[in-house]
Amino acid sequence: MVRPIYYGLSALAGLLGWPIFYWRLKSRGRGESFSPRLGLRLPSLPRGTGGPRLWLHGVSVGEISAAAPLVEELQKQFPAAPIFLSTGTETGQAMARKLYPPPLTVIYFPLDWPWAVRRYLEHIRPDMFIALETELWPNFLHAAHSFGVKLALVNARLSDKSFRRYLKFCFFFSDIINYFALIAASTAEDARRFQALGARPEKVVVTGSTKWDRLVAPQHSEKIPKLRRRLGSQDNLIFLAASTHPGEELVIIKAFQALRVPYPNLLLILTPRHPERAPAVGQLLAQAGLSYHFWSQIKTGKEGRQHPVLVVDTIGELFSLYALADLVFVGGSLVPHGGQNILEAAAWGKVPLYGPHLENFRSAQALLENVGAGQTISGVEDLIRTGEHFLGHPQEYLARGQQGQAALQNLQGATQRQVQLLNKLLP
């Protein structure tokens, strides 16, 4: 009874809500995804005909980047198969196009409105749909299941907040979850939570996450000399503030100004989580009396690095930039956002600092803090104090970072485990 009600409400929302959707996109300076997500403009189909038609989906940048090892393995096993990769955001779409050139086809994921979902499924005709992390869209999953599509959820995880929210509606989501033939959970705790929501135990397997397999720093080390040349002086210390959100940049700026007193050669690389916020971050720096470059100007050689701050206004740069850092802060954690991926810093042997709001990455936090390779800071004074300590004790920082790197390497192998399970679902 509940699903027909959802179906009816979502159909009504589709009829009445598209102007709001259009306005929200335009208010953010976007709009490219409007027609595709409504099912008004369908993607071109690839020519590949050999093997199963595979559709992978991730919401945005994090999920799309984490999919790389899985995509690579699927392409090896099914070299002639059409593979689609969808995103729900335009930022994720830009990252996907950068990471996954043809023959893989990058598309938008339809809004969970009945006609948009049906048009996509009839057009693409997938044999398997693989959701990355936790994507539960009732209309899509019901329609795909009725079309005979094999459904799999990989890198599956539930944050504290998501688990509490889904648990309130488990009478509804228990049926939706069991449309999946496979739930490849990131941790044993995630597996327990999915079963608490009603997932049948035989469908839930702990495999780990391909995010951990992706974090192999040496694969990216060829970029490092070029990045160092772009930055100019080899004698500078670098403070990298990664994936920051509104409300965090002012803390970073104050800490940076304080740290430059004992360390006048310190550079700040400030990377807002959403690159379109770079101009607003630049305004904050100007108000604080700090001169800066946009990374796009440095990267293309249009400017030489002279100022003490770089604002990263492009996507796909952050993981390699960690290699240059002598001090790292990972954002989304001083404000109640839930945090960002702190393991990317650990992959390079860095000790990430982060605020108390790390609800989406508790397992990663526990992994690093158990070996002394991650540290919570409470605010600007704590950040200054910890930053001074690490910059003044580089050998301690190196040793703690290596402990985190070793702990992370012990987690790898999720891709192979997931592909073996996915193969069993295919005819």
Say yes or no: 209 and 222 in one domain.
Answer: no
- Give residue 194's pLDDT: 95
Say yes or no: 140 and 225 in one domain.
Answer: no
Nearest to 231 by CA among 310, 289, 292: 310
Q: Is 177 helix (H, G, I), strand (E, B) or coil?
A: helix
Say yes or no: 257 and 195 in one domain.
Answer: no
Q: Is 189 helix (H, G, I), strand (E, B) or coil?
A: helix
Say yes or no: 292 and 199 in one domain.
Answer: no
- Choice among 63, 133, 135, 344 that is catalytic: 63
Give, in order, the Cα–Cα distances in Å from 155 to each of 139, 183, 213, 269: 22, 8, 11, 30
Quote the distance between the C-alpha of residue 290 and its chain's center. Answer: 30
- Give residue 60's pLDDT: 78
φ/ψ (deg, to 5) at 270 = -110, 120
Range of the domain at 404: 217-408
- HEC assignment per residue over 299-325: HCCCCCCCCCEEECCCCCCHHHHHHHC
Q: What is the per-residue DSSP string for 7-49? A: HHHHHHHHHHHHHHHHHHHHHTT--TTHHHHTTSSPPPPPS--
Say yes or no: 37 and 107 in one domain.
Answer: yes
Count of domains forming the chain: 2
Give, in order, the Cα–Cα distances in Å from 106 to each of 32, 120, 147, 155, 240: 14, 13, 22, 20, 31
Beta bridge partners of residue 353, listed in sequence order = 329, 375
Q: What is the per-residue DSSP string for 150-163? A: EEEEEEE---HHHH
Say yes or no: 153 and 299 in one domain.
Answer: no
Report the C-alpha gap between 86 and 108 in whole angstroms. Answer: 5
Say yes or no: 140 and 211 in one domain.
Answer: yes
**Whether the Cβ atoms of residue 38 and residue 116 lie closer than 8 Å to each other:** yes
Residue in the structure block whose two tokens are 């796909």: 316
Give, in order, the Cα–Cα distances in Å from 357 to each of 160, 256, 332, 360, 376: 11, 21, 7, 8, 9
* Residues contacting residue 20 through CB under 8 Å, at least 6 positions apart: none
Report the C-alpha gap between 427 and 425 in whole angstroms. Answer: 7
Report the C-alpha gap between 64 and 86 in whole angstroms. Answer: 9
**Whether the Cβ atoms of residue 49 and residue 125 lie closer than 8 Å to each other:** no
**Whether the Cβ atoms of residue 407 and residue 370 lie closer than 8 Å to each other:** yes
* pTM for the structure as a whole: 0.75
Which CATH number goes with the domain that contains 274?
3.40.50.2000
Say yes or no: 65 and 96 in one domain.
Answer: yes
Report the C-alpha gap between 20 and 25 in whole angstroms. Answer: 9
Say yes or no: 135 and 221 in one domain.
Answer: no
Say yes or no: 136 and 242 in one domain.
Answer: no
Beta bridge partners of residue 74, listed in sequence order = none
- Give residue 39's pLDDT: 76
Report the C-alpha gap between 205 and 185 in whole angstroms. Answer: 6
Which CATH number goes with the domain that contains 19?
3.40.50.11720
63 is a catalytic site residue: yes
The size of the chain, in residues, is 427
Say yes or no: 274 and 397 in one domain.
Answer: yes
Q: What is the pLDDT along the chain (427 residues), one digit of tens a residue?
A: 455 665 555 555 555 555 665 556 556 656 677 777 877 888 888 765 677 999 999 887 878 888 889 999 999 998 889 999 999 888 888 889 988 998 899 999 998 888 889 999 999 999 999 999 887 888 999 999 999 999 999 999 888 888 888 888 877 778 889 999 999 999 889 999 999 999 999 999 999 888 888 776 555 566 778 788 888 767 899 999 999 999 999 999 999 999 999 999 999 999 999 999 999 999 999 999 999 999 999 988 888 889 999 999 998 889 889 999 999 999 999 999 999 999 999 999 999 999 999 988 888 899 999 999 999 999 999 999 999 999 999 999 999 999 999 998 888 899 999 999 999 998 7
Report the C-alpha gap between 279 and 423 in whole angstroms. Answer: 46
**Whether the Cβ atoms of residue 178 and residue 198 lie closer than 8 Å to each other:** yes
Say yes or no: 211 and 221 in one domain.
Answer: no
Report the C-alpha gap between 286 and 21 in whole angstroms. Answer: 34
